[in-house]
A and B are shown apart, each in its own frame.
Chain A
């Protein structure tokens, strides 16, 4: 019973409860998960045979035999025996795990730790009485009920409080069972019936029946088990009617307050739902008993597919877009079952979506790999973790195509010139999610996929958000999952706000912030998910990332080479953008010089923060930088400082533009981003040159640099 289900088990459950359509809505996916759970728990939607497992062999089965063929019910026999495995199917036991009182089936159980005779006669018999008295079960009695409703009425009579039959049963139990020993008990009722009087029974040659053999008792169990689905949060009455089930499309009894695993459906707050009449909810949201039960059953599997991080929860529910089969259901179940919520990959959280994806796309079974390629979809929903439910983004059919493309684009970007100092790029850094991956290509792709699906890709570069309210970063994640390009203006705005978030006082943020943003922008461009800009961000030629030949014996030559390589990107084909970047480079270089050579307390860039930069401010900073480049050069005795500090930058700046920034035509955020990019390069231009330098000319400077880089 506790063995792992096999494809046949899933096929049986699908045959029993699944409609023929492929999943098309959240409800479909929830019902599908319910079916997976049914197969997992032994194949039945309502009965729960596995819950009797602890009673088998160690516990006792007490059977109350009632003769219901006469005018009045009679107790024919009372017996007890060891509970055997083969007894279980006829008992039709249905477990209720929450709350106290009667279980859903007529068959009731006592405590797993055992009851004495008194306990059985009071508590367990009391549960049978409570069962017959449930409103949902009583609803089967009478004209609007079940044709065999009288059977329930008769049972209620037998177990009625203080009735003759009950009193005599109680004393018989006391006589029969040991009074000083605690044994786990299961109590059931066996009934002698005239088959021809009952619609609930097909056979005619049988006299005695167990609960699992009588349809009206099974119907009663269903009603009781799903009672909550019709009256949850309704004080008086219930929301139920005849209608078309939204999931199966079948006609029949529907209920209007089904379990909502994500907490997004409820009739609890009429104040926030204008015009809501609680007992009419079944008209808008008609759910059959079976489907309501499936929703409830699927909850555990849904919970395995949620990723919680930063006050947000993201549900990523995998399914297959085609017709469901036992084999597909089996593969899906195994993929979800394999999710380890705490798993990490290289210190990044490995979210359920990545785990499920790789379980299927790299499955040892080629049929499943192909299936994953063709049909794997995710129903994704993000919301803040709160009782006040608010879905901020939802995508019904996300594929692995876009995250896979992005992961590969990220890998290529990190491997490319943008993070190669010799090619004018920034450096790779550990512990910065967008600045390093594994050196092994397969592992790098896997890690990149995890970082894209665990929010790090967006969180690394966007502005910080308060924990409460809508988090735009999650909206962005969903857009990327569905292949919606992001506008470059939105990105610049976010980048510069993050730049501000990461700044401390007058200090610029660490270079890694800007480097990650460039990697982010380039990755989006490479994956085709960037819009609003006329050029690609990545290099257009198939530039191989080989170490170029540089004269590493000369600091000025290294700097010049790196500057040229840095500027050699499509983004800077535009003269104004290039000029803005060069202005940033010069301000960065002069500021470094002030910081580490002249010991100036408040370097130039302290007053020229990128996120607050205006054209006017840049003009002032640039004028000051040009002036200082001359003045400082006169004071310097180092061979690589000529009559002008950083002549390569000044030369190129003058080549690019004859006008000053106040005359430039460029969007504010674009100007700022180009400036901070240049500044980040310029600030590190000398330190990186020292690192690459192989002559012995400036040993002392190297030591000085090590100190200034460390800060």
Chain B
């Protein structure tokens, strides 16, 4: 049977694994002129990565990762460090750098391809250095969940998982299946290892700990010829992996323990 997820997004069972790469880039919405990355992979990115592992088609899996039938917790395991890497690339503007002229006037075929004889252009990408995240995931879709568990435990995947860009191939480590999250009862404060949905004002200040905040896509749906985001989430994180987000025990998020970690699912 697949996991059941309650109204607080807490599942009764979940899969846990670590995903790691040398680099990561999770392109931010609202930035097109600059290429910047979120510090934390958006929930939709995790959905896409898991869909790649089980080999789901594009646009086919959004319902599996809906707001109510999927629960995902993300815990950064490395310090969130970024650097700007200049890259050179061939242009992709259909009006300028792409040609369909091949063969001669009488050809019955044409090809669209990039004109590689032009000057390369310089673009700086902001990338995460040595990113590693612990992902806890539960899906109510039984077939998908079973597939995912089998791929993860046997170390296989249909498409290779990567952290944001295909060249940042990721490794999956330390897979645990059948974890059962347990509610944490505490009367004052709780230190959460994962990112915590909500706003900065929910995080209790701690000396020497810098909180960051992001808002990124969380849930998507198929729409016409493409997809659209139906929910964006705010979440608080800490720059250093060893620090945790401290929240009031009676705050909205429902922290649970998964193994030795305290996480919040969403």
Q: Which A residues form the contact surface with B (CB < 8 A)?
A: 21-22, 24-28, 241, 243-244, 246, 249, 260, 263-267, 269-276, 280-281, 283-286, 321-323, 375, 377, 383, 389-392, 394-397, 399, 470, 482-484, 528
Smallest CB-CB separation from A258: which chain B residue? Answer: B30
Q: Measured between alpha carbons, how far is A390 from B199 in the docked complex, in Å? A: 28
| Interface pair A25/B34, CB less than 8 Å apart | no
Cα(A270)–Cα(B33), bound, Å:
10
Contact between B229 and A271 (Cβ–Cβ < 8 Å)?
no
In contact, A26 and B30 (Cβ under 8 angstroms): yes
What chain B residues lie within 8 Å of A394 (beta carbons)?
36
Whether the Cβ atoms of A21 and B199 lie closer than 8 Å is yes
Interface residue from A27, A244, A266 paired with B32 (Cβ < 8 Å): A266
**With an 8 A cutoff between CB atoms, is B232 at the interface?**
yes
Contacts of B92 in A (CB 8 A): 270-271, 273-276
How many interface contacts (CB-CB < 8 Å) are there between A and B? 133
The interface residues of chain A lying within 8 Å CB-to-CB of B97 are: 271
CA distance in complex: A484, B201 (Å): 21
Can you pick out 20 interface pairs between chain A and chain B where the beta carbons lie within 8 Å of each other?
A24-B234, A28-B215, A241-B223, A246-B229, A246-B232, A265-B30, A266-B33, A267-B32, A269-B33, A269-B93, A271-B92, A271-B97, A283-B226, A321-B200, A389-B34, A390-B124, A395-B212, A396-B214, A397-B210, A397-B213
* Chain B: minimal CB distance from A250 (Å): 11
B182 at the interface (CB under 8 A from A): no
Contact between A484 and B210 (Cβ–Cβ < 8 Å)?
yes
- Residues in A with CB closer than 8 Å to B29 are 246, 284-285
- B-side contacts of A270, CB under 8 Å: 92-95
Is B261 located at the chain interface by the 8 A CB criterion? no
Residues of chain A within 8 A of B30, CB atoms compared: 25-27, 246, 264-265, 285
CB-CB under 8 A for A391 and B34, given A22-B201, A397-B212: yes
Report the Cα distance A34→B29, complex, angstroms.
Answer: 20
Q: Shortest Cβ distance from A678 into chain B, in angstroms?
A: 33
B84 within 8 A of A: yes
Does B211 interact with chain A (Cβ within 8 Å)? yes
For B200, list chain A residues within 8 Å (CB).
22, 24, 321-322, 377, 397
Bound CA span A281–B29, Å? 10
A265 lies within 8 A of B31 (CB): yes
- Check B230 against A244 for contact (C-beta < 8 Å): yes
Chain B 218-262 against A: per-residue CB contact (8 Å), 1 yes, 0 no? Answer: 000001101111111010000100000000000000000000000
Whether, in the assembled complex, B160 has its beta carbon less than 8 Å from a beta carbon of chain A, the answer is: no
- In order of increasing CB-CB distance, the 10 nearest A-B pairs are A271-B91, A271-B93, A24-B234, A321-B200, A322-B201, A25-B215, A22-B199, A389-B33, A24-B215, A483-B210
Contact partners of A273 in chain B: CB under 8 A: 32, 92
Are the C-beta atoms of B212 and A396 separated by less than 8 Å? yes
Whether B96 is near chain A, meaning CB under 8 Å from some CB there, is yes
Shortest Cβ distance from B118 into A: residue: A271
A244-B231, A276-B32 are contacts. A24–B213 as well, Cβ < 8 Å?
Answer: yes
Secondary structure call for the A interface: loop
* Complex interface: chain A residues within 8 A of B228 (CB): 241, 243-244, 283, 286
B123 within 8 A of A: yes
Q: With A249-B232, A270-B94 known to touch, is A483 a contact of B36 (CB < 8 Å)?
A: no
Please tell me which one of the listed residues A264, A274, A399 contacts residue B31 in the complex, with CB atoms under 8 A apart: A264
* 0 or 1 for each of B90-105: is its CB under 8 Å from A? (1 = yes): 0111111100000000
Contact partners of B34 in chain A: CB under 8 A: 264, 383, 389-391
Other A-B pairs, 10, CB within 8 Å; known A241-B228, A246-B30? A25-B30, A244-B229, A265-B30, A270-B93, A274-B89, A276-B32, A284-B29, A285-B29, A321-B199, A321-B200
Sorting the interface of chain B by its residue count into under 10, 10 to 19, 20 to 34 or 35 or more gives: 35 or more
B residues touching A (Cβ–Cβ < 8 Å)? 29-34, 36, 84, 89, 91-97, 121, 123-124, 126, 199-201, 208, 210-215, 223-224, 226-232, 234, 239
Interchain CB contact under 8 A, A24 and B32? no
A392 to B84, CA, bound (A): 7
In whole angstroms, how far apart are the Cα atoms of A273 and B93 in the complex?
8
Q: How far is B223's CA from A390's CA once the two chains are assembled, in angstroms?
A: 32
A28 to B234, CA, bound (A): 11
Candidates A25, A246, A283, A397; contact of B227 at CB < 8 Å: A283
Complex contact B210–A24 (CB within 8 A): no
Chain B contacts for A390, CB-based, 8 A: 34, 84, 124
Q: How far is the CB of A499 from chain B (nearest CB, A)?
A: 26
Q: Which of the listed residues A249, A383, A390 has the most CB atoms from chain B within 10 Å of its own CB?
A: A390
CA distance A286 to B210 in the complex (A): 30
**Residue of B with least CB distance to A287:** B30
Q: How far is B201's CA from A395's CA once the two chains are assembled, in angstroms?
A: 17
Verify A321–B201 contact, CB threshold 8 A: yes
Q: Output the least CB separation between B241 and chain A (Å).
A: 13
**Are A286 and B229 in touch, CB under 8 angstroms?**
yes
Distance between Cα atoms of A397 and B231 in the complex (Å) = 22
- Shortest Cβ distance from residue A236 to the other chain B in the assembled complex, whole angstroms: 12
Complex contacts, B89 vs chain A, CB 8 Å: 272, 274
Complex Cα gap A246–B93 (Å): 27
Set of chain A residues within 8 Å of B210, measured between Cβ atoms? 397, 399, 482-484
* Distance in Å: Cβ of A339 to nearest Cβ of chain B: 23
Docked Cα-Cα span, A389 to B95, in Å, equals 22
Contacts of B199 in A (CB 8 A): 21-22, 24, 321-322
CB distance from A405 to the nearest CB of B (A): 10
Find the B residue at minimum CB distance from A276.
B32
Distance between B29 CB and nearest chain A CB, rounded to angstroms? 5
Question: Which A residues lie within 8 Å of B32 (CB)?
Answer: 264-267, 273, 276, 281, 285
A263–B226 CA distance with the chains assembled, in angstroms: 27
Q: Please pick, from B121, B231, B232, B239, the residue contacting A482 in the complex, using a CB distance under 8 A.
A: B239
Closest to B219 in A: A244
- Kindly identify which residue among A244, A263, A271, A322 contacts B121, using a CB–CB cutoff of 8 Å: A271
Question: Residues of A contacting B232 with CB < 8 Å?
Answer: 244, 246, 249
With contacts A265-B30, A276-B32 taken as known, whether A25 is within 8 angstroms of B214 at the C-beta atoms is yes
Which chain B residues lie closer than 8 Å to A280 at the CB level? 226
The residue on B at minimum CB distance from A241 is B228
Q: Which residues of A contact B121 (CB under 8 A)?
A: 271-272
> Does A27 contact B215, Cβ atoms closer than 8 Å?
yes
Chain B residues with CB under 8 A of A375: 201
For B214, give its contact among A24, A241, A284, A484 (CB under 8 Å): A24
Q: How far is the CB of A439 from chain B (nearest CB, A)?
A: 31
Chain A residues within 8 Å of B211, by CB: 397
Q: How far is the CA of A276 from the CA of B93 in the complex (A)?
A: 9
Return A20 CB to nearest CB of chain B, in Å.
Answer: 10
* Contact, CB under 8 Å: A272 / B91: yes
Minimum distance in angstroms from A88 CB to a CB of chain B: 36
Cα–Cα distance between A284 and B27 once the two chains are bound (Å): 11
Instruction: Report A374 CB to chain B, min CB distance, Å.
Output: 8
CA distance A528 to B209 in the complex (A): 12
Q: Which residues of B contact A397 (CB under 8 A)?
A: 200, 210-213
User: For A27, what are the chain B residues with a Cβ–Cβ distance below 8 Å?
Assistant: 30, 215
Closest partner residue, chain B, to A280 (CB atom): B226
